[in-house]
Chain A
Amino acid sequence: MNRQVTLWLMTIACIMSTLILPVASAEQAGDSGPVVHNMSLTHHDFEDWSFTPSANDTLAITNKSDVAHSIYVTYPDGKVVNLGVQLPGETVSLTIPAAGDYLLQCWIHPVTRAEMTVAP
């Protein structure tokens, strides 16, 4: 009986920790090549990130809000790239072509914006 209870409690603890612990922006390190950086959209904001991306790295942006977003990225040379409509839970990706200052915005929600500097 005690063993059963222990299993019960462990199961509940696992579920609770999954629900409660924040999922931080993570940097998936490679040996020396391009890296995939995970980012999140929460409500109308990009969640803060701590990584410094380099050219040829990939941004994987997951929509953790409960509304759709439509992110577009303005490159340092002014080129605009649309990442398409992104439903809650979906992830879109962008491979960063070069170093410089990038601007991430949402067509639907103008308040959703972030500036990102990419290292060479």
Chain B
Amino acid sequence: MKIRILVMLACTVFSVHASLADDTIKRSDYQRPEAIPAPDSNPLTIEKTTLGKALFFDPRLSRDKGMSCATCHSPDHRWSDGRVVPLGSEELEQPRRTPTVMNSAWLKALMWDGRANSLEAQAVLPITTPHEMNYNMDELVQRLGEIKGYRPLFESAYGDAEITTQRIAMALATFQRTLVSNVSSFDRWVEGDDDAISVSAQRGFQVFNNKAQCAACHKSWRFTDDSFHDIGLDSPDLGRGNTIPIEVTIMQHAFKTPTLRDLPENGPFMHDGSMTNLEQVIKHYEDGGLKRPSLSKEMSPFELTEQQKADLIAFLKTLNGGPLALSPPELPEE
């Protein structure tokens, strides 16, 4: 009889130990990477970053010289624009909120519908989109060639002053790769500082990973799986379904999982900017979203207590590392 009790005790100890180990594993799942990745074809350099920064903030990249990349991806708005409908998209039938460009070095698919597969490919899209910067790359190359101040920047970045579409895209991509979230209190907690986040936030972390199952899609240190899901928003926008064969039902109304780092205080949230606070967002997920064939299989209704909701929001706020210490550059002179 004593032996049986000992065996049961051993099983209990094993079970508790496994539970603690599980908690440890989950913390380490969110560990920040040590270095910024870059493709072999476009390695990170200070010179390219300097050039890319100038290009990013320069409104002369748009046809009417009135809009730069930073107009919609502003450092004052967490590298987004804080708007429900992006500037210039007011007349579109299905406008999509401007996503942040922070931590984009790690993205495997860009744009809400994943239609660009690299930062280099993405960089030219806003420049040439009619309702955005409305320019074309040939004319832009010519215009930049006439700005004397750009010559030394291209020369430093590439060894000579030749300006090409590819070089513009590579420099813009390089600068964007350097926009990385600051270390937040959550990161310090992940690294072992148990007091870095409140007890409420720690409970929220458990809710995030367990009952609410947010981590099914908001994975890794960037809190995204770089994947596409229909979360059941009442929107006619087919998202990735516009470019994927119609028979792939699961991609209808599917959009890329956005990061949860450095969330703006008052949103807007979701791809269509339809929500302005985290309480609304949590309620949407509790309800499980609009039931339709494309609804993500990860969308299952659940119910949180008021305390659990408060804990979850407390946790999400620990992902805020604050604004980046970066000021706009002096633009190259004509």
Chains A and B are bound partners: yes
**CB within 8 Å of B: which residues of A?**
1, 4-5, 8-9, 12, 44, 66-68, 70, 72, 80, 82, 85, 87, 107-111
Residues of B within 8 A of A66 (CB): 216
Are the CB atoms of A107 and B1 closer together than 8 Å? no
Chain A: minimal CB distance from B240 (Å): 8
Indicate if B227 sits at the interface (CB-CB under 8 A). Answer: yes
Please give, as numbers and ranges, the residues of chain B lying within 8 Å of A4 by CB-CB distance. 4
Pick from A9, A44, A107: contact of B248, CB below 8 A: A107
User: B244 at interface (Cβ–Cβ under 8 A)?
Assistant: yes
Q: How far is the CA of A110 from the CA of B7 in the complex (A)?
A: 46
CB-contacts of B204-257 with A (<8 A): 216-217, 225-229, 244-245, 247-251, 254
Q: Which residue of B lies closest to A86 (CB)?
A: B297
In angstroms, Cα B11 to Cα A44, docked, is 32
A111 to nearest B CB, angstroms?
A: 5
**What's the minimum C-beta distance from A49 to chain B, rounded to whole angstroms?**
23
Which bracket fits the contact residues of B? 20 to 34
- Please state if A110 and B229 are interface contacts (CB–CB under 8 Å): no
Partner of B226, one of A9, A67, A87, A111: A111
Interchain CA distance A12-B245 in the complex, whole Å: 49
B297 touches A8 (CB 8 A): no
**Given the contacts A1-B1, A67-B216, A107 and B244 also touching, CB distance less than 8 Å:** yes
User: How distant is B250 from chain A, measured CB to nearest CB, in Å?
Assistant: 5
**Residues on A with beta carbons closer than 8 Å to the beta carbon of B7:** 5, 8-9, 12
Tell me, rounded to whole Å, the shortest Cβ–Cβ distance linking B145 to chain A.
37
Of A12, A44, A107, which contacts B225 at CB under 8 A?
Answer: A44
CA distance A111 to B107 in the complex (A): 10
Q: Which residue of B lies closest to A109 (CB)?
A: B227
Q: Taking the complex as formed, is B139 at the interface, i.e. its CB lies under 8 A from any CB of chain A?
A: no
Alpha-carbon gap, A8 to B296, bound state (A)? 43
B109 touches A87 (CB 8 A): no
In chain B, what residue has the closest Cβ to A108? Answer: B227
The reply on B114 being an interface residue by CB < 8 A is yes
Contact pattern, B 22-49, Cβ under 8 Å of A = 1, otherwise 0? 0000000000000000000000000000
Distance (whole angstroms) from the CB of B140 to the closest CB of chain A: 30
Report 16 cross-chain contacts, Cβ distance below 8 Å, ordered by A residue.
Answer: A1-B3, A8-B4, A12-B7, A12-B11, A66-B216, A67-B216, A68-B298, A82-B245, A85-B249, A85-B250, A107-B228, A107-B251, A108-B254, A110-B114, A111-B108, A111-B225
User: Contacts A68-B298, A87-B297: A107 and B250 contacting too (C-beta < 8 A)?
Assistant: yes
Q: How far is the CA of A114 from the CA of B109 in the complex (A)?
A: 17
Q: Are B216 and A70 in contact (CB under 8 A)?
A: no
- A21 to B109 CA separation, bound complex (whole angstroms): 35
Expressed in whole angstroms, the minimum distance between the Cβ of A63 and any Cβ of chain B is 11
Complex CA gap A80/B247 in Å reads 12
- B3 engages A109 (CB within 8 Å): no
Closest chain A residue to B298, Cβ basis: A67
Q: How far is the CB of A21 from chain B (nearest CB, A)?
A: 16
Of A8, A108, A109, most buried by chain B (CB within 10 Å of CB) is A108
Inter-chain contacts of B217 with A (CB < 8 A): 67
Residues of B within 8 A of A87 (CB): 297
Find out whether the CB atom of A108 lies under 8 angstroms from the CB atom of B4.
Answer: no
